[in-house]
Chain A
């Protein structure tokens, strides 16, 4: 399988603190790869580096061979690297459907001025976005809530909406920031199913996560961080047997890594 995303020798320093230290790995096409690690391991920083929300001190991120690190976030999104957010980051005062429609921004063929004038291209864009938004909402089981104001959604649906927004940009790789955080067992299982369905549609997925059982269930491969360094990489069974990983999670190893 071809490599979709390549992280090579990436380091991020905040003053004297090295949050991410010389981490390299790659994500293959149509793969689900998870980055895990104890609290403070540098997962979130790595996530922001890959989505270009942070600029690496050294090292680089490449998408299909093209360098994307150091670009502005909206340019990285344009190239096909799109992230979701950990917290319930949505456009609160818009309807669910409008949230998804606006996220089609990158697909628009008409210019802003074209939208102002209401040209034929702009109208065609609007129609296409509406249709695509309805499909995405159906895929994520949000159709019945399409006209609800986003801020009124219950927690689980909010996260699904976050993913719907990400999907609408038509990314090459979707980065999910702790998609299972704060969910109960049933919700987690539903989300696992949802992520699998996305992969079946041909999407490559990188996720950063805390919830070990879910991660073990869903991932093709895992990358384990500890104190900013990569300590292991491999399939779920390889990771579960890895001594360094067990050591990093010492104290609660059995439960935490899902043994």
Chain B
């Protein structure tokens, strides 16, 4: 038990050392500063994917995370541009706004299961895009541009985070922000899944009727999980808007929603850290295949199909089988 615990602590420490120390050190010595942007994207996409993973965990196929990422981006952008809010305040507000919206949307649609729920969520992303095009506040197809970089964050006169515009290397700052949030997000997820709440979610996934017969308020639990999921989507969307300093109706589309889902599949639906690994592999995999030119999509889709056939439980199931054999 204690040995197991020590291994876990060592793994966490190693992971933190890699993302906060080793990666920045390697990038600055190699001079490949563009990698910051790539890795920031991976971190943010993995937060959104973690949300999708949570809805999988209650037995729902969610292809609608793009809608909440878009929503979160717009909420943050509008609050910063039109109301002069600090980016740091808009970040949780964007998440909470998405969570609240997802409660309203989720109450009716979470009654659906399987492919029906999947279809509705797929439509949700498209609805969000069309809304962003049509609503006056979102400025239509022109989007919202020239969003200022995040300002300084200070509490009681103490500056915790400096103004991003004054930094020499705002890429590094965004990287650290995204990675920190990713760590927090996955810590929360890990705790959720390994507490009784995780067991309750599993009970929903495996048999909703039985779950309600033992007194689980299934409708409520489904909505809570979906709200947490959408909160993650909204937060990651808000940071994306801040990094690119712009947001358009096409910033998050159906393709992104599908990718969030694929990240979960690839990493493994049974593992909390599945979406993180899935996002990393998928993002870099796609980039690597860029050299194959016109065959990129063909090889990519072919590989995905093969992977799902060979490893239906995701990449992390490989680690499990080797551990069992060893």
Contacts and interface: CB of A to CB of B under 8 A. Distances in A.
Interface of B is mostly: helix
Q: Which of A84, A101, A115, A165 has the most CB of B within 10 A?
A: A115
A102 interface: yes
A105 B197 contact: no
A147 interface: no
B215 A77 contact: yes
Interface string A136-171: 000000000000000000000000000001101100
A73 to B, nearest CB: 4
A106 B210 contact: no
Contact of B207 (A90, A105, A115): A90
Nearest to A112: B197
A74 B191 contact: no
B199 interface: yes
A209 to B, nearest CB: 19
Interface string B189-231: 0011001110110110011011011111111000010000000
B215 A169 contact: yes
A102 B203 contact: yes
Q: Which of A73, A89, A98, A126 has the most CB of B within 10 A?
A: A73
Interface residues of A, number: 35
A116 B192 contact: yes
A105 B210 contact: no
A103 B217 CA distance: 13
A91 B214 CA distance: 12
A74 B210 contact: no
A91 to B, nearest CB: 5
Contact of B200 (A51, A82, A105, A125): A105
Contacts of B209: 53, 73, 85, 89
The 9 tightest CB contacts between A and B, nearest first, are A106-B215, A77-B215, A115-B196, A103-B214, A73-B212, A91-B206, A115-B195, A74-B212, A74-B215
21 contacts: A72-B212, A72-B219, A74-B216, A74-B217, A77-B212, A85-B210, A90-B207, A91-B206, A92-B207, A94-B202, A98-B199, A102-B196, A102-B199, A105-B200, A105-B214, A105-B215, A105-B216, A112-B224, A116-B197, A126-B196, A165-B214
